[in-house]
Structure 1
Amino acid sequence: MSESAAKQSSSLLDWYAAMGVDEAIGDAPVDRFAASAAAPQPQEPLAKTPRPDPRPASKAPPATPPKAKRPAAPPPQANTPAPALDGIKTLAALEEAAAAFDGCPLKRTAKTTCFARGSEQAKVMLIGEAPGRDEDLQGKPFVGRAGKLLDKMLASIGLDDTSVYITNTIYWRPPGNRTPTPQEIASCAPFLTRQIELLAPDVIVLLGGAAAKSMLQTTEGIMRLRGKWKLYHAKDRDIPVLATLHPAYLLRTPDAKRYAWRDLLMLKERLSTLQ
């Protein structure tokens, strides 16, 4: 194989991996176009001879009853209801319950459950959208390129894994890193709600538009939501929430880092008032 062909093959394999392909179905490739051309074509059905109408010509056909209105589509629901989680008293037990939960279809295509990383005594909770390829391989959220940038962002205001707790709105990687559907987010929502209750953070930071829209129950874009303190209504109290830009977006759009820096300064100022 020539060097250029080897590079093309390597690039193709990298693309397959990024799109979520993790196994080959057969030992050898199959030319589906050739198989389709060789397959026998279906014959056209014989024309049907119309039957005579047995009804008398003088009688008119009965009126067609009006069509019933279709009921409105129900709101997105999880495929399988989450188990009762109020009896779970620790984050470790909640992680075990999430790993055993089969109500999210993403679990069938993901390699691991990415529940959380960081300190269970943290007062700052960060919530992103969904695991990516690196996260799916390591079983922890934000460990790829975006995670490394997030660590640098947190370090710039004196935070690290000993002072923050990081998770996502869903715990399994969507194939090809696509955006999770409302049904997929809904299937994990009871676990995330209980996660917040057990951690009891002083502040929640939402990373990116998908997490912000889901947690704040809004349709506004991230540029309108970021840089403003809002409230998350937990069971027993309201928790201050700050939305900011996702580190993956900052990798693609370096000019937007100045907005994220302003948000980090807002977070640092709020934390100084809690000490």
Structure 2
Amino acid sequence: MDQDATATLLAALRCQADWGADEPMEPTPAPLRDRVPPGAARWLAGPAPVAPPAPALVARPAPATPAAGFAPAPAAAASLAADAGSLEALRAAIAGFDGSGLRDTATNMVFCDGNPDAGLMLIGEAPGADEDREGRPFVGQSGRLLDRMLASVGLHRANDFYVTNILPWRPPGNRTPTDAEIALFLPFVLRHIALVRPRQLLLLGGTAAKALLRGREGIMRLRGRWHEITVEGLGPVPVLPTLHPAYLLRSPAAKREGWADLVMLRRRLDGQG
């Protein structure tokens, strides 16, 4: 093995150790091992965009019984979600739901974007300022990175995936959603999944992963492997948690892990994993 290859492997090992890896990553599949597509090279190796200073986050309150998961959502939200027989009906149900004060502080409801028939559904955390203005998910800086990431493995928003968030309304100041807010909107999210009927779910970031996997593990332990959830009216769905693109903007070194997750996704879509 030449010195350049050895240095590359040592750098990869150091990166995994720095981010708390406790088991070796699966080798990259042969079709993607020998070269990095041009799209991937731009978002993996290029300089990270300069993000504006993040607003102060409001800490999410700890639940009284962490091992028990989220408390049941109010009956009104669960009933409205169950009665929605189509995506348009679900959109209308969420727009008319008055059980959350988030609607009063947001500009627009953010429901979805992309192709609902693609078979791949992405779920993020909540709208940001750009999404709140436009009424579409992932249209700001992190959304542009997300599009470049997925394009690097041949996936494009118009045809190949469908994207939404756990919360349809922007939390004030872009703060992290509380457990109560997540529990309130979770019936709508699960109904959304049941109506779209995806063959795979890609969960963007720790909030989405913890909400749907009902666990307390951090995203660095959840990512890198497939999980499964059961959705009423649909059945079991394969789920791959990965790092949120906003996190990758703040921590460019973690793009290595993001790329590994996309390789796993591409393999599953191609029937190889």
Aligned equivalents of 1:19 and 1:216: distance in 2?
Answer: 27
Aligned equivalents of 2:56 and 2:260: distance in 1?
Answer: 34
Letter paired with 2:269: L
Does the aligned pair in 2 maintain the 1:78–1:184 contact within 8 Å? Answer: no
1:129 equivalent to 2:128? Answer no
1:263 equivalent to 2:261? Answer yes
SS at match of 1:241: strand
Does the aligned pair in 2 maintain the 1:77–1:183 contact within 8 Å? Answer: no
1:154 equivalent to 2:150? Answer yes
Task: Flag the structure with higher helix content.
Answer: 2
How many angstroms does 1:76 deviate by? 4.0
Aligned equivalents of 2:268 and 2:72: distance in 1?
Answer: 36
Which runs of 5 or more residues in structure 2 are unaligned? 1-51, 58-63
The higher relative CO (CA closer than 8 Å, separation ≥ 6) is in 2
SS at match of 2:268: helix
- Matching residue of 1:246: 244
The alignment yields a C-alpha RMSD, in angstroms, of 2.3
- Matching residue of 2:210: 213
SS at match of 1:86: helix
Letter paired with 1:237: G
After superposition, give the CA deviation of every residue in 1:131-165 in whole Å (9 maximum; x if it has no partner): 10000000011100000000001101111121111
Aligned equivalents of 1:86 and 1:79: distance in 2?
Answer: 13
Does the aligned pair in 2 maintain the 1:19–1:175 contact within 8 Å? Answer: no
How many angstroms does 1:85 deviate by? 3.0
TM-score (norm 2): 0.72
- Matching residue of 1:114: 110
Q: 1:81 aligns with which of 55, 73, 76?
A: 76
Give runs of aligned pairs for residues 162-173 of structure 1, distance below 5 A. 162-173=159-170
Aligned equivalents of 1:202 and 1:108: distance in 2?
Answer: 35
Aligned equivalents of 2:170 and 2:224: distance in 1?
Answer: 28
SS at match of 2:145: helix
TM-score (norm 1): 0.71
Deviating more after overlay: 148-157 vs 96-105: 96-105
- Matching residue of 2:41: none
Aligned equivalents of 2:133 and 2:184: distance in 1?
Answer: 22
After superposition, give the CA deviation of every residue in 1:93-138 in whole Å (9 maximum; x if it has no partner): 2111111111122111111100111112120000011110000000
Q: 1:180 aligns with which of 177, 181, 206?
A: 177
How many angstroms does 1:186 deviate by? 1.3
Letter paired with 2:103: K
Aligned equivalents of 2:172 and 2:56: distance in 1?
Answer: 7
Aligned equivalents of 2:151 and 2:268: distance in 1?
Answer: 16
Aligned equivalents of 1:95 and 1:191: distance in 2?
Answer: 9
Aligned equivalents of 1:79 and 1:123: distance in 2?
Answer: 30
How many angstroms does 1:77 deviate by? 5.2
Aligned equivalents of 2:205 and 2:244: distance in 1?
Answer: 4
- Matching residue of 2:5: none
After superposition, give the CA deviation of every residue in 1:234-261 in whole Å (9 maximum; x if it has no partner): 1242100000000000000101001000
Aligned equivalents of 1:191 and 1:80: distance in 2?
Answer: 12
SS at match of 2:264: helix
SS at match of 2:256: helix
How many angstroms does 1:78 deviate by? 4.6
Does the aligned pair in 1 maintain the 2:80–2:93 contact within 8 Å? Answer: no
Does the aligned pair in 1 maintain the 2:186–2:211 contact within 8 Å? Answer: no
How many angstroms does 1:18 deviate by? 5.8
Deviating more after overlay: 127-136 vs 85-94: 85-94
Q: 1:98 aligns with which of 94, 98, 117?
A: 94
Deviating more after overlay: 97-106 vs 123-132: 97-106
After superposition, give the CA deviation of every residue in 1:21-80 in whole Å (9 maximum; x if it has no partner): xxxxxxxxxxxxxxxxxxxxxxxxxxxxxxxxxxxxxxxxxxxxxxxxxxx999645567
CA pair 80-134 structure 1, distance change in 2 beyond 3 A: farther
How many angstroms does 1:92 deviate by? 1.6
Which runs of 5 or more residues in structure 1 are unaligned? 1-13, 21-71
Does the aligned pair in 1 maintain the 2:224–2:240 contact within 8 Å? Answer: yes
Identity %: 51
